Chains A and B, each alone.
Chain A
Amino acid sequence: MKVFRKADGGIVQLIDKNKMMEWPIELPLIFIEYIKNNKLESYNDKDVEKKIEEYLDEVLKDVAIPRLIDVLEGNNNTEIIEALERIDNIANDNLDMARPIKPYLNDLANNKNKEITKLAKGILELFRKEERRKELNKKRKIMKEKEEEFLNGKITPEEYAIARKEYLEFRDNR
């Protein structure tokens, strides 16, 4: 077990990442999410929370992602479909957890197996929507600034109209 010592003399112990190598492929990700969402704040020690977050990142980088990638890069379609279904569940709950898998999804979206293609495209669509949402927020902020500039006479009505048109086109083009 990995031991984290709290300032008040208490401890937190987490399973060693090497033991997770034998787990079902989706379980390390579920473990990371479980600790982050359910336990982290209960430890009441900022330093320990930070160290545990770093450890969980290590688990993600060294165990969870490589294990999923191994399957996705393999030739066993049944395993790939199972893995993609699990990734889809995880991505729907927390997209950031699935982000390291994204580059592999682009290849799988062109796979000969229709089910694999459908699942990969479905997950990629989640990323696309997320990116669009971020971009839209950015553009909304810029639009607000332009409105203020226009009201203060810092830009011409034509300049404002062009910016507004660009924003509306992006917003409505889903």
Chain B
Amino acid sequence: MKIAKNSKKEKWDLLSTKKLMKKLLDETHNLKDVELPNDTIKIDDLNRKQALERLYELIDDLIEKIYANGKPVVELPSRSNSNIIWDEESDLLLLGKQIQKKYFHSLTSVADITRLMRVLEIINELLLKDMHATKREIFYTDVKLFQDQKNSDKSLEDVATMLYTTRNSTHVVASARGSCVGRLRIRDRNDIIDLEGLGSGGWGISPMLDNIEIIESDAEFILVVEKDAAMMRLAEARFWRDYPCIILTAQGVGNVAVRMFLKRLSKELRLPVFSLVDSDPYGHYIHSVYMRGSKRLSYESPFLATPDIKLLGVLTRDLDKYKVPGDCRLDMNKTDLKRTRELLKEDFVKKNKEWAKDLELSLKLKKKAEIQALSSHGFEFLTEKYLPEKLTTGDWI
């Protein structure tokens, strides 16, 4: 491996990124919330008091049904594939208005209903005590009843959709698995946290985002990286000092906390957001989840998705452009090829010609590469050449 020469660092002006930043800051419509089409359900992000009120309304309704005919039914939006809609206008995966009914007096749904009511009880307790719990903790509150965490997770998602709110609003949070560094200051209850001063490990993104508030930033863009190794490289180089930015990683597909935090950053700071993922179909999939949300959590998309995120790299076309040596390129296997073809069938890829073109190129070359492959030009190549050059020239999708 070649080690980069200790020559004078080239300073890039990030012209294209600055132009994009200026455009986003000047666009006042960006401040408005996403307007959802009529045939989709609307989900609200609620504070503790509002969530409790909604929960009590639901219970009151159930009690009334019991008084009326003794056979209560709960109704919730269906989360089946047929009810998931891609809205071209907002560029999000959303939940349609198909309703699913769960009957209390039915042998097929009695276990489901019992779990659902138990989860409602737990959520009530969490909200009243102003505490948060992870999905795993919920499972352990009643192992006999839930039997498997899949069941408690499903009930949790059912409860969130029944309440027409996000899972975070029910105080059930994803376990922390993501970090953030860079030009950002936040408030976590009574503490001010400086994300530039936490060492190379950065700030572990808190799943209790209702306690977090963005208070100051002089960043000009946000960079989401797939790999911890790339994050380490950027942190070690203190990349944000030369190029004012905020860097996040979720070590793979962004979990709810990371995606929600990214959405907050993007919405409140109105900065350009870029992703840096491996040049393979899984990397492109990770980018798509940040951009449009996942099908499973489509009902929360407006609070989780960052539709304006740009795919900065590593693009298939970069492999030749940046002369990634043949040794560092890997052959795509059957699964890779299948996944790439599947991605090409997605409406949101078809709509983005450049994206489709890059995926087609990968099918043609049948090659993939990790972000780390760029280190073949030296450890500093990523931070001193690849990223600054792409951010300056606007070489993104």
User: Do A and B actually bind?
Assistant: yes
Measured CA separation A30–B185 after assembly (Å): 13
Those of A66-97 within 8 Å (CB) of chain B: none
Does B18 lie within 8 Å of A14, measured CB to CB?
A: no
Number of A-B contacts (CB under 8 A): 46
Q: Which residues of B contact A39 (CB under 8 A)?
A: 185, 216, 218
Measured CA separation A34–B214 after assembly (Å): 14
Measured CA separation A42–B196 after assembly (Å): 12
Does A12 lie within 8 Å of B220, measured CB to CB?
A: no
Does B218 lie within 8 Å of A31, measured CB to CB?
A: no
Measured CA separation A23–B211 after assembly (Å): 11
Measured CA separation A174–B215 after assembly (Å): 43
Measured CA separation A43–B185 after assembly (Å): 14
Contact of B220 among A11, A15, A27, A35 (CB under 8 A): A11
**Closest chain B residue to A44 by CB distance?**
B218
Does B218 lie within 8 Å of A10, measured CB to CB?
A: yes
Those of B21-59 within 8 Å (CB) of chain A: 21-22, 25
Q: Which residues of A contact B194 (CB under 8 A)?
A: 38
Does B215 lie within 8 Å of A15, measured CB to CB?
A: yes
Known interface pairs A10-B244, A15-B213. Does A43 touch B192 (Cβ–Cβ under 8 Å)?
no
Q: How many whole Å from B392's CB to the nearest CB in chain A? A: 13
Those of B189-222 within 8 Å (CB) of chain A: 190, 192, 194, 213-218, 220
Q: Give A136-147 as 1s and 0s: 1 = Cβ < 8 Å from B's Cβ atoms.
A: 000000000000
Does A27 lie within 8 Å of B269, measured CB to CB?
A: no
Known interface pairs A1-B268, A1-B269. Does A11 touch B25 (Cβ–Cβ under 8 Å)?
yes
Between A9, A13, A19, A43, the greatest number of chain B beta carbons within 10 A of the residue's beta carbon is seen for: A13
- Is the C-beta of A3 less than 8 angstroms from some C-beta in chain B? yes
Q: Give B255-276 as 1s and 0s: 1 = Cβ < 8 Å from A's Cβ atoms.
A: 0000000000000111000000
Q: Which residues of A contact B105 (CB under 8 A)?
A: none
A residues lining the B interface (CB < 8 Å): 1, 3, 9-15, 19, 23-24, 27, 30-31, 34-35, 38-39, 42-43
Given A31-B192, A42-B218, output 4 extra A-B contacts at Cβ < 8 Å.
A10-B244, A12-B216, A12-B217, A31-B215
Give me the 8 closest cross-chain CB pairs, A-B, nearest first. A15-B215, A12-B218, A13-B217, A9-B18, A14-B216, A34-B192, A24-B190, A1-B268
6 contacts between A and B (CB under 8 A): A1-B217, A11-B218, A12-B217, A13-B216, A13-B218, A39-B185
